[in-house]
Amino acid sequence: MELSDLIEGNSYETVEDVMVCNYSDAVCSLQNQIELQKKTRLIYLGRSQYDDGFLFKDEKTGNTYCLHDDDLLYINFAEPNTAA
């Protein structure tokens, strides 16, 4: 995924397992990294105003994560969620 392809509010999903920073209180903490499983659906929230990260919210848990340039290789546009 290229930076120019990201659109705020759009859904994306991980195409591989990926380590990301748990984002809280405007801090991207490497000590709080977690592994997102393949096919985790994320909503793009925009750029972090405090570092060079990209903020995504997990559609299922509501948790916010900070991804960086190298992490964008592991996400792609998500197909519309048709589950009722």
Q: pLDDT tens digits for 44-53?
A: 999 988 778 8
pLDDT greater than 50 at residue 84: no
Residue pair 66/36 in contact (Cβ under 8 Å)? The answer is no
Chain mean pLDDT for the chain: 86
Helix (H, G, I), strand (E, B) or coil at 70: helix
82 within domain boundaries: no
How many Cβ atoms are within 10 Å of 37's Cβ, its own excluded? 9
Q: Over pLDDT 70: what percentage of the chain?
A: 83
* pTM (two decimals): 0.85
The mean pLDDT value for 30-52 works out to 88
83 within domain boundaries: no
- The number of domains in the chain is 1
Range of the domain at 51: 3-77
84 within domain boundaries: no
What CATH number does the domain containing 19 carry? Answer: 2.30.30
Residue pair 41/83 in contact (Cβ under 8 Å)? The answer is no
58 within domain boundaries: yes
Residue pair 82/8 in contact (Cβ under 8 Å)? The answer is no
12 within domain boundaries: yes
- Among 1-5, 21-25, 58-62, 67-71, the minimum mean pLDDT is found in 1-5
The mean pLDDT value for 79-84 works out to 62
